[in-house]
Amino acid sequence: MANFRNTYFFAKGQSYPEFKDMTKDELKSLLGGKGYGLYLMTCELDLRCPAVLNLPTFHSHNLENGNLKASLVEEIRTGLRQMEENTGKKFGDAANPLLVSARSGAKFSMPGMMDTILNIGLNDNIVNTLAVGDKARFWLDSYRRLLQMYGDVVEQIKDEQGEDPFEHCLDSFKKEMNAKNDLELGVDALKELINRYKAIYAKYGNNFPQDPIEQVVHSAEAVFRSWNNDRAVFTRRQEGISDDLGTAVNIQEMVFGNKNERCATGVFFTRDKSTGIKSEDHLDGTVLFQAQGEDVVAGIRNSLPLEALRDHSEQVFRDIYEEMKSTGSRLEKTLKNMQDTEFTIEEKDGTPLLYWLQIRDGKRSAKAESVIAVAMQREGIVTKEQAVLMVNPERFEELLFPQIEPKHRKEAVLMTKGSAASPGAVSGKVVFTQDEALDLAGKGEDVILVTVMTSQEDVRGMKASRGILTSTGTKVSHAAIMATAWGIPAVVGASEILINKKERTFNAGDFTVKCGDVITINGATGEVFQGKVPTTIPTELEESAQQILDWSAEIKAMDVRANAEAAETQPAYNNGARGIGLFRTEHMFLGDRLPYIQAVLFGNDAAASAKALEKIYEFSKDDFKHSMKVMSGHGVTIRLLDAPLHEFFPHGSDLEKEENPMLGHRSVRMAITNPEIPRAQIKAILEAARELRAEGFDPKPEIEVPLVIIPREALEIKKVACEVATEIHAASGSWVPYAFGIMVETPAAALSGKAMVEALSTPVPGFAKEAHPVHGFASFGTNDLTQTTLAISRDDADKFLPHYVEHNFFDRHPFMSIHPMVERLVRTFVEEARSVDPGFETFICGEHGGDVYTIERLHLIGLTGISMSPGKVYRSIIKAAQSQIKSPRK
């Protein structure tokens, strides 16, 4: 860290030439996100900000037994002297005291996860001096807060029950004083409270330092230490933030929005966070006069929209509104993103002045993401690549989930919030048990299952419910994982909810909800509303969203196909899929068509079997023809029959189910022992293509052999394909071009890249060149590949996999995001296959194909294309584009 200073002082007139050579990312790594924003505003944009002494992130890892090094303490003293000079205030001076806050600020924002101490610099002497007249309450309350925060955060004082004694003391004191809230505590009461707080320090053997420097140093230490508190560590795990980054500490001059009625505090978003719209006469945000930031959060008074400034009777506030607007534009141009800012207006020498306390990239609605990104591109602020990177691919899909429209959202009564676990908004009657859920749902009612947590024993009730709400758990808990898998909206970890099983009610704050009452949950936001809130399902993408998709489709390096059968092909095409990566043929044998496959597999009547095969050929051909017509010009990968035998057992059959059907007689194994079935399927594929070509379409059939473990299996089926192609040629005079490939879903196949590619390109003796496939391909079936690599059957994983996931045995759920060892197998196959044939086409068609983490990994490996369920095509196109932007393929 020799290149970096131990502290950075940001105030008007300061400059750091060495920062010119550093990227924004490097600066954020050094100063933390908050520190970087303050540097930028103060030193680069010349905005009015409270002075800041930034202790960079690397100190997080350089504490000595949790304490700052002596040399750093010395630099802090120097820095504070600089701040005194700059502000004209003086640390510890009872006449004009400099007060500061010590705030955490990591590279990536983790709101509320680490600690902050305000009002540092107060002591008995200052408070005794200043707490007179109409300012008395302000100073006493500030001191009271400092004592409480310092005792809690720095001294970590706990009572015998391990709880915060200050909070207890305040609660019981308010009761004693008959005060509903803090504001009702008068000057004398606050003095008494301060004494009681001091008694707590004494009781637990701690002390509150009267020396302001000592306060600063210990506060900074406490904030650094908070990098490793449980909440912060947990959040980092959840968000994939590295432990190595560390947090910076920002020692920031306090400004006061609560000095008088011409002071204020508030937040301002540079664009509307709900709609994404940037409007000349409407700024998104709120302002609260004569208040401090804390008061906004506490909700003591209702804050006002920023129009309160625009329409203010005094010109000076109207000017501040304009200043805000123009500054917003400057910030966006510099930071290339919509900003969420905190500000304070403090009166100085009779003039209210706007201070910027903090900026960060603003959170916004799913809808606003695309609107803002596209608008910024059109305004010339970002390139289209940068615009695409501004969109979260997973949230993009929320645009088509059931939603609560803003107008209804405004009227709705929010009861509480939890984690957004599975998107979609839904209303229903509250039930508390599986039996209630099954009972009510059985009567046709929409129900929402409310419970502390779910387990495997609740799955039937969960599936019967329209939505799930739990008071505990996280996004990787059973409820969240299952709900996501089933597409059921869910909110989890809504910790304010207290369930009373006896009464069959729950409380959330002041709300009480009974079994059978209607509530509405929004799984995309985590919100829980009282009663029924109207929801709407958008039918098509808005213009900005479509623009993002179009750009993404243009940028991405990988083909994006869909896993679709006949009925899903058109919807998949509409969503942007170009080609089918997995046409599963087993589904077409269920229902009315089941008897035909049964006649072939289990019948004893050769004539009936032949007739059934003819029928199979016919309906298969119709289905294939439809899909290849819709996807004309694009590849359609049709997988030969893959299902385990027992799925076709006649009803009441005494045939014995296999011990481990997943590893049994299915897929290519059945094709080899029952070659008449792949023959009928291949004939249907090639004849469908032949007919389409005759009709002027451009079908691109790709025959796929599932569950291959050795090249010979593929060769056996390729021979059948050559035979069928030759027969069709003999009958029609036409050769039908087709591709022929394997599904790589076993470790054995994944480890045989060279041999497989060689087998796919080896001619079958005795056939014309034209009878052969035009090229080979491989598609990774990562569902089965994960199951075999990890020896985990998804059907049987309920008893242990939730335990594994909840206890972080895996970095990511292996059936959602590709497991490192499965990824290794995929990479090994691709590398070895390409060493034989550099242009060899590789795809993925497992569930992982629609997972954003996996998509990026596959882009890096160099896959030709990805395929996923039609509902995940949007995210996949965007993520493929983002991967290409971040790591362009050569």
Q: Hey, what are 850's tokens?
A: 């629609």
Q: Which is nearer to a copy of itself, 363 or 712 (CB)?
A: 712
* Distance between CA atoms of residues 577 and 636, nearest Å: 11
Q: Which is nearer to a copy of itself, 7 or 752 (CB)?
A: 752
* Phi, psi (deg, nearest 5) at residue 528: -125, 120
Q: Which is nearer to a copy of itself, 228 or 530 (CB)?
A: 228
Q: With CA atoms as reference, report the closest residue to 867 among 676, 583, 552.
A: 583
CB of 463 to a copy of itself, least distance (A): 17
Q: Which is nearer to a copy of itself, 187 or 453 (CB)?
A: 453
* Distance between CA atoms of residues 294 and 838, nearest Å: 61
* Distance between CA atoms of residues 185 and 197, nearest Å: 15
Would you call 587 a catalytic residue per the annotation?
Answer: no
CB of 863 to a copy of itself, least distance (A): 19
CB of 514 to a copy of itself, least distance (A): 33
Q: Which is nearer to a copy of itself, 158 or 803 (CB)?
A: 803
* Distance between CA atoms of residues 430 and 494, nearest Å: 15
Q: Which is nearer to a copy of itself, 603 or 747 (CB)?
A: 747
* Distance between CA atoms of residues 683 and 674, nearest Å: 15
DSSP H or E run through 318:
helix 315-335
CA distances from 17 to 10, 23, 43, 44, 539 (A): 13, 13, 11, 11, 52
Q: Which is nearer to a copy of itself, 604 or 673 (CB)?
A: 673
Would you call 775 a catalytic residue per the annotation?
Answer: no
Q: With CA atoms as reference, report the closest residue to 822 among 799, 853, 865.
A: 853
Report DSSP state, residue 48. -
CB of 648 to a copy of itself, least distance (A): 14
Out of 218, 819, 845, 848, the active site residue is 845
CB of 812 to a copy of itself, least distance (A): 12
CB of 747 to a copy of itself, least distance (A): 4
CB of 63 to a copy of itself, least distance (A): 20
Q: Which is nearer to a copy of itself, 37 or 781 (CB)?
A: 781
Q: Which is nearer to a copy of itself, 393 or 802 (CB)?
A: 802
Other CB atoms within a 10 A radius of the CB of residue 127 amount to 21
Chain contacts with a copy of itself (rule: CB under 8 A): 658-665, 669-670, 672-673, 707, 709-710, 712-713, 745-748, 751-752, 784, 787-793, 795-797, 799-800, 803-804, 809-810, 819, 821-822, 824-825
CA distances from 228 to 54, 157, 237, 247, 856 (A): 19, 18, 12, 10, 29
Those residues whose C-beta lies under 8 Å from the C-beta of residue 883, and which sit 6 or more positions away, are: 556, 557, 558, 855, 856, 859, 860
CB 588, CB 616: distance < 8 Å:
no
The gap from C-alpha 725 to its chain's centroid, in whole angstroms, comes to 48
Q: Hey, what are 519's tokens?
A: 């509530």
DSSP H or E run through 26:
helix 24-39
* Distance between CA atoms of residues 870 and 69, nearest Å: 57
Q: Hey, what are 83's tokens?
A: 């701040």
* Distance between CA atoms of residues 376 and 883, nearest Å: 21
Out of 478, 819, 848, 859, the active site residue is 478
CB 228, CB 316: distance < 8 Å:
no
Report DSSP state, residue 108. S
CB of 401 to a copy of itself, least distance (A): 31
* Phi, psi (deg, nearest 5) at residue 871: -70, -15
CB of 706 to a copy of itself, least distance (A): 10
Q: Name the residues annotated as catalytic.
A: 478, 845
